Amino acid sequence: MTAATTPTTGTAALADRFYATGLRNQWHPVVPSRFVAPGGMRRVRALGEDWLLFRRADGRLHMLADRCPHRGARLSLGRHLGDRVACWYHGVEVDGTGTVTAVPGLPGCTLEGKQLVTSPPVREVGGAILAYFGDALHPEPCDLTLPEPLTDPGTDAFLCYAEWDVPWRYAVENLLDPMHGQFLHHESHTMGEGDTTAKFRIRETDRGYFFEKTDQRGVNFDWVELCRTGVDWVDLSIPYPPSAGPGGPFGIVGMICPVDEHRSGVFFWRYRHVTDWQRDTWRFLYRTLIEERHWHVLEQDRTMLEAMPHDADTAENLYQHDLGVVRLRRLHRAEAEKQAAELTAAGHA
């Protein structure tokens, strides 16, 4: 291997890693907020790396790389000290910014006062924790515009969270594939209607694109919108019968956390546009009747995706219904290659 080919090879390997474990320089969901109680800590894995979430008694949340700057021990095995964490191994204390605040074994040690642990910015929305994962060239968080259904006071949403043994790309692609609803979910309470044939188109937007049927609307899972607003998310709508109560169509905002190459955290906010007494009716119906049915649909997706080989996308024969998936793959691959090339050129590969 010559020196001229080494950078290209290194860039390609880095791009493959980003494509497998998640794109950088954007926000990703991590876990539901309820996973970290006030005064609590939780070890999590995201984008192929281990992290520690800890929450102060007043509710403020912090995220740290799960690695003590002294000897690399797991901070998640340590003690919660209110506004900082003490490593169990030698007692080194690290605050929420990743700064070493004390080295009990050697007060005045040169480690004290240095920011030595990665501490991604975090935000909480709709019951979920989002974190910004930047690279060496983009440490400051990008702009984040949250999905409207999660911030609109006239919309009520329930967060559904699950972990699947499937690459994150497949979980996102499943959402960009409306036609599977007519087949995989045909026996569900909402997706048994409509034609089993369709034609699709891609319609560009200023934040992503719609992938939609050209010959059917408002009958089944007929469209989905991919949105890239600092965090990647999808929006879709499923028609609901009058028996499901007020609020019109049932919407889903979906986000996927790349846990590692072969595992994903799946976030679905199920929402309806309801206020006042209608909101109470919707929430009652959801909890007592509809939620169980929705979990049944999710289990169908999980069963299908987990049964697929991890290299399923290397031996496919695609057709017109897969335009949305093809567009998504090209977008993700191009972004992974761009990020890898920039890091390699700057000597950070």
Query: Residue 300 and residue 185: Cα distance in Å, rounded?
Result: 7
Is 316 contained in some domain?
yes
Is 342 contained in some domain?
no
* Judgement on whether residues 121 and 161 belong to the same structural domain of the protein: no
pLDDT at residue 250 in the model: 85
* Judgement on whether residues 211 and 125 belong to the same structural domain of the protein: no
Is 208 contained in some domain?
yes
Query: Residue 10 and residue 4: Cα distance in Å, rounded?
Result: 11
Is 8 contained in some domain?
no
Q: What angle do CA 220, 224, 230 make, to 5 degrees?
A: 155
Number of domains in the chain: 2
CATH of the domain at 306: 3.90.380.10
Determine how β-strand 263-272 pairs with β-strand 156-164: antiparallel
Boundary-marking domain end, from 108, 133, 158: 133
* Judgement on whether residues 182 and 326 belong to the same structural domain of the protein: yes
> Which domain range does residue 189 map to?
148-333
List the pLDDT tens digit at each of the 349 positions of the chain: 334 434 456 899 999 999 999 999 999 999 999 999 999 999 999 999 999 999 999 999 999 999 999 999 999 999 999 999 999 999 999 999 999 999 999 999 999 999 999 999 999 999 999 999 999 999 999 999 999 999 999 999 999 999 999 999 999 999 999 888 888 888 776 666 767 888 999 999 999 999 998 888 877 778 899 999 999 999 998 887 776 777 777 899 999 999 999 999 999 999 999 989 889 988 998 899 888 888 988 999 999 999 999 899 999 999 999 999 999 999 999 999 999 999 999 998 7
* Judgement on whether residues 90 and 157 belong to the same structural domain of the protein: no
* Judgement on whether residues 73 and 222 belong to the same structural domain of the protein: no
Instruction: Say which amino acid occupies 308.
Output: M
- As beta bridge partners, residue 237 has 251
* Judgement on whether residues 167 and 65 belong to the same structural domain of the protein: no
Is 13 contained in some domain?
no
* Judgement on whether residues 221 and 84 belong to the same structural domain of the protein: no
* Judgement on whether residues 171 and 308 belong to the same structural domain of the protein: yes
pLDDT at residue 171 in the model: 97
* Judgement on whether residues 170 and 127 belong to the same structural domain of the protein: no
Is 159 contained in some domain?
yes
* Judgement on whether residues 52 and 178 belong to the same structural domain of the protein: no
pLDDT at residue 5 in the model: 39
Is 344 contained in some domain?
no
CATH of the domain at 89: 2.102.10.10
Is 18 contained in some domain?
no
Verdict on whether the full-model pTM lies above 0.75: yes
pLDDT at residue 190 in the model: 67
